[in-house]
Structure 1
């Protein structure tokens, strides 16, 4: 008969004597080809000096050795376990986690979360690139063909805590007019000459407030509050200026968070509001997110970058610079999609002696018959390089009439040549060519056109087609696995540094899984997928 006394916390007291079935050595329970063995072998060969430096030399000894805790965390990310509480449970119940702990006490969730947030962020980048170099030593990564792509991953921030730069600027401008009006009234009342400028607004407000408070003490005016109390004019002035001062401090704080962006989230100031491909309301609503860039070679993630830009154009150069400095290696070929096309990026790759395989943004349009029949397009006009003139559909000449300059968001300045048709007055094709009332004008960046043509020739060669196919398979495939198979669609931590730590851990686990898969399927030493033959 079952005992009914179940209120005791120690369930051993309920009775029952069972033979110990598990072996004392967990090693015999883990298959020889299990990925946890490969993970432990790779991580044992890394240098953890940067990780141990993050710990205080005078503090108490960690419950779990940092190297072992890093193994546990990496293995958790390999198996789609991201929550610190779930990792704690796995350490107590999963044989593989117990084997990695090597007899250490299972860490609790707060220890895991603190390790990931405070200690690992100082060393994760160093450890990640050590592993990439290890893959290079194994011959898996050649530092030859780099495939670059980006995706947007939702931040761990409330969706409706947005702050918009446009709104802040608008409200700040309105308040400035109110401040000027208030000071004019103060000057008329007390015969003073207070004025404000946008550059010294807080200082000017403080000067006016100090004068009014001194005036208040001289006249011994007491501030009153509440219903039925009438405020003096002086009290109203002081309260208005103090409110303006507080609001301006708030606006200044907003501007510091923007840092070249148009928005940020109050709960995660590093996150920017972006359009996501799939959102919770299915109506293209903006979400706080990060632009995650990765570089892939031979199906391994060799570089990770976290950016706040909503598009990819401005991310390529800093990403490649970071990659080169960390790996101390120079890639020969860089393959990316049309989102990275810009004159600045073309010139950067040319200066680094890297062959670019960037698909032009108009590549798909060029294939259409409608584009080829569009007489307004520059590509459909004959160009004479010797005299620098275009010939339109009606046989008229478009000659250069001036040069202008265009500055990008990164500060890069490109030279734009302006062409104007000699006479469009009686042209029967004018309605199909331009909407301008006068002669047709056209702006052309000669440098950009020339570099785009080079990239177009590169991607249409046999090697270019092979690399473009592999870009789709490898880098887009990596994001597909990370976001769908690993079910990683939202960060758990907040802040750019914490987010980078989290995603690098994910890529660390992804690389170990990829190496394990290649070894088991005998695909080692095959960096590119071959083209399918008909």
Structure 2
């Protein structure tokens, strides 16, 4: 632009048809103004936002650690997104053993970090949670890394137990499978033979292995040859995840057994009352602080108060002569420690659940 200004000074004031250099200078000044006042500030704003995101899809302007998520309490019934945190707790007999605060709204990616920080995991043999935690990654980590038994249904477990699903011939789980020759036959009679292996990596870096099956080009009849093709004229495909099917079968066997049913049944009256007491008795339905560290401290004090309340109720239910026969406060303190240990470690199931705040 400076060079053009020098050249324009050498031009006469009036040029027939206008000055080409002036038009070019005007265009460059417009670009410079757009860059300095719009594009560059916007790029810096996006860079700052990307650093705050830390892999999330959103954040609150008033609390950068909070993420917009659906709350369980929705008075307008429009699934309004509000900034909050995902509170994870581990309970046993309604005592909170550990808690964690996460910024991601889904429970699938919070289970492994939460169990990693849990200091008393060695005391338990079973990890119990609802279907929101069921995933191939979590099953692998619980069994291989933590060496625990998983009592966690996957998301479609209840649906697959219904008669409608089991009798639906369009579901690939209900197709006829020949293990010796490794092929499937669908409800129309189309044969799908093994084609090749495939790998998929999600955005978190977890790799899944698939087996692809392709409909044979030459079926038993001309009609089946047409059914083996898509409306676009290509051969039909289907994919199977053997690892996922293995863990699904393992979960089905666990939850179908009497022991598994009894263990999973405890989740309803073990962890859910903790959130109920926190909302009803303590009035904590939303966090009133900003910043993850401050909210963690607030939740820690709240859960500590819940444990003390639960412990006081447990002591009050003991026989009255147990306290009357105590000779000193020190002896009472020692016995109370024994009571806590018995209450917490009598059974070996760890219950995990979440609550948005």
TM range (shorter): 0.7 to 0.9
Mapping of 1:208-357 within 5 angstroms?
233=26, 236-243=30-37, 244-323=39-118, 326-327=119-120, 329=122, 331-351=124-144, 352-357=146-151
Partner of 1:467: 263
Shift of 1:239: 3.5
Does the 8 A contact of 2:166 with 2:174 survive in 1?
A: yes
Gaps of 5+ in 2: 10-24, 320-338, 348-357
Partner of 1:51: none
Residues 1:379 and 2:173 are matched in the alignment: yes
Among 446, 450, 456, which residue is 2:252 paired with? 456
Does the 8 A contact of 1:394 with 1:429 survive in 2?
A: no
Does the 8 A contact of 2:190 with 2:224 survive in 1?
A: no
Does the 8 A contact of 1:314 with 1:410 survive in 2?
A: no
Question: Residue 265 of structure 1 aligns to a residue in which SS?
Answer: coil
Does 366-375 or 297-306 show the bigger shift?
366-375
Shift of 1:237: 4.9
Does the 8 A contact of 1:338 with 1:358 survive in 2?
A: yes
1: CA distance, partners of 2:62 / 2:223: 61
Does the 8 A contact of 1:335 with 1:471 survive in 2?
A: yes
The alpha-carbon distance between structure 1 residues 430 and 357, as it changes in their structure 2 partners (threshold 3 A), is farther
2: CA distance, partners of 1:518 / 1:272: 37
Aligned residues between the structures: 302
CA distances 1:66-85 after superposition (whole Å, capped 9, x unpaired): xxxxxxxxxxxxxxxxxxxx
Higher strand share: 2
Residues 1:521 and 2:317 are matched in the alignment: yes
Question: Residue 467 of structure 1 aligns to a residue in which SS?
Answer: helix
Query: TM-score, normalized by length of structure 2?
Result: 0.76
Does the 8 A contact of 2:130 with 2:152 survive in 1?
A: yes
1: CA distance, partners of 2:246 / 2:99: 31
Residues 1:426 and 2:220 are matched in the alignment: no
1: CA distance, partners of 2:316 / 2:32: 76
Question: Residue 463 of structure 1 aligns to a residue in which SS?
Answer: helix
Does the 8 A contact of 2:115 with 2:121 survive in 1?
A: no
Query: TM-score, normalized by length of structure 1?
Result: 0.52
Question: Residue 426 of structure 1 aligns to a residue in which SS?
Answer: helix
Gaps of 5+ in 1: 1-185, 192-214, 220-231, 529-534
